[in-house]
Structure 1
Amino acid sequence: MTCLHSNCQNAIIDDDLYLCDLHHKAWKLPKTHPEFIKTKDKFLNDWTKQNAQDVRIEELYHIILSPAIVEKYKQYKFQIEKNRGANNERILYHGTDHSCTIISSNSNMLCKTDDCAGCGIIMNSFDINKVGVNRQNRSFQRLGQGLYFTPHSSKAHFYGHGGAKPLPVDPSRTCRIMFMTKVVLGNMWQPDQVAQNARSPPDGYDSTWGRVGHCPHGGATLNYEEYAVYNHEACLPTKYIVYSYTSTSE
């Protein structure tokens, strides 16, 4: 199979990514590509909370990270499978902010600044050392100081509001970004209460599962499930989604 980049005849380097190693870390998929259509359908089906109207994907990028980062993820997955008997790999969403123009220009150039969370993940994957006060300036983390993911695109939507920008071709619409990510959950700890200060799950566990109806904070329990991992080798971003909407209630 050859690279999906137009007119490129190089062999792909990964069956999941469909790109050769000569092209950019992130590359835009045409809207007619079967993978774009498949991802769009999943993204919209996973939008389970009615907190935004007329949601649609504007652009979709595959992400290529350095072989060293990918290999660390594969090794982590292998060890979890060896130790636990199953790896529990899931495709989950992660919402975050961005400050570059990747969604507002006809290029796939990254701004490569320290202020752009989106570019940082595209270039270097996730980094547990950057976990702390989030982009909404709230230090509260229901499942502790980890990297958070959810099976609901509508839940991940909230965490990118600081990077919302007008859609260049239609200012009546607003853009945000989101990542689809492979996450190895392994043996999941299922706390009933908030574990804000946790920096790892208890011994014998590999991740934390925030279940619906549990982990109350201020009288409110979780309405949509989420997961936290505490090792960035447990997650690998695979797609960068640029989406727009006409209005939102978060």
Structure 2
Amino acid sequence: MSTLSPSRPTVEEVVEEEEEAKESDAHPLSVVLKGGSSIYRLDAADERYQHVSASFLQSWTKPNATDIRIEAIWKVLPNRLLRRRHEAYRQSISTALDPLVLNEKTLFHGTHSCLAQRIFNQRMNVVHDLTLDELFCQQDTCATCGIASAGFDISRSGEGSIQRGLGRIWQRFGHGIYFSKHSSKCHFYSKTGETGLNPDTNRRYSTMVVSNVVLGNAFTAQGSSNDRKWTKAPQGYHSVQGLPGYAGINYEENVVFTKDACLPSEIIVYSFSHTTEY
């Protein structure tokens, strides 16, 4: 008796499946971005808005900005492909570890964005009221739009430092994707804050990404000279963490080395009147 082995899918079938997987769940107010993910603005009365807002403001522990105010929060609905890959990664970590130590956290990520400038101009009536798809430029040069559209891209790691004109990429713990539970720490990488076009205000605008991050078994960095060379976590670990008192840092940070470990959930646009980190 012979059995037929399952036929391999054609290139066209694979492409079709990937395109279908990129689709995100629809929301009545959402706009679909070019990467297949979608996004919509949360109302200030929304429970999720209030939770994210409180977390953002309460975790601002570093005294590096004054008069901080949230201007808007967008909910990101990642496409199905991103969600499937993230869930598969979660399952692989859960299988390797006790599910109770999956170590999954909601963390902040600072980077550069066109969105802060556009929100500022809209609020100051410098330009006409922009529609949601006009607010998000979706250009390859904009990190925040790229994350909202297609998730994190580890090849762009360190762009926050470059955009701030620091002259070098920090990446204290290697070439990975960096997060922190302290929104104020991530502020350092959210460029310097756009000032907009209206000369009558002294407020500056920036953006920050909120993400679900699977850290798994986290290695605590000790400040070795080899730390900057990491392209993956040490053997037996899934991420690297920098803790106060170790490796010369004052505020905790976490690093993962695959985009599958992190899934964007919200984008925050915030303003402030002064910052010590230009």
TM-score range, shorter chain: 0.7 to 0.9
Equivalent in the alignment of 2:42:
29
User: Shift of the alpha carbon at 1:42?
Assistant: 1.1
- Per the alignment, residue 117 of structure 1 pairs with 143
Structure 1 range deviating more: 185-194 or 22-31: 22-31
Alignment identity in percent? 34
Q: Compare 147-156 and 35-44 and name the one that shifted more.
A: 35-44
Q: Give structure 1 stretches of 5+ with no counterpart.
A: 1-16, 216-220
CA distance in 2, matches of 1:30, 1:156: 24
Matched residues in 2 for 1:170 and 1:241: separation? 24
Give the partner amino acid of 2:144: G
TM-score with structure 2 setting the length: 0.76
Q: Describe the superposition over 1:111-150 as per-residue Cα deviations: whole angstroms up to 9, x where unpaired.
A: 1112111101110110112225643342231110000000
The amino acid of 2:244's aligned partner reads: V
Q: Which residue of 2 aligns with 1:103?
A: 119
- Figure out how many residues of one structure are paired with residues of the other and give that number: 229
Q: CA deviation at 1:102?
A: 4.8
Distance 1:189 1:78 in 2: 20
Say if 2:207 is the partner of 1:177. Answer: yes
2:275 corresponding residue in structure 1: 248
Partner deviation per Cα, 1:165-200 (whole Å, 9 max, x = no partner): 438697321110001110000001112114001101
Does structure 2 retain, via aligned residues, the 8 Å contact 1:183–1:234? yes
- If each structure's helix is expressed as a fraction of its own residues, which one has the higher value? 2
Q: Of the candidates 246, 256, 265, which is equivalent to residue 214 of structure 1?
A: 246
Instruction: Give the 3 Å change call, closer, same or farther, for CA 203–170 of structure 1 in structure 2.
Output: farther
Letter in 2 for 1:51: N
Q: 1:227 matched to which residue of 2?
A: 254
- What secondary structure is seen at the aligned counterpart in 1 of 2:223? coil
The structure having more radius of gyration, on CA atoms, is 2
Q: Using the alignment, how far apart are the partners of 2:265 and 2:200 within structure 1?
A: 28
Of stretches 159-168 and 141-150 in structure 1, the one that deviates more from structure 2 is: 159-168
How does the TM-score come out when normalised to structure 1?
0.85
- Aligned Cα RMSD in Å? 2.2
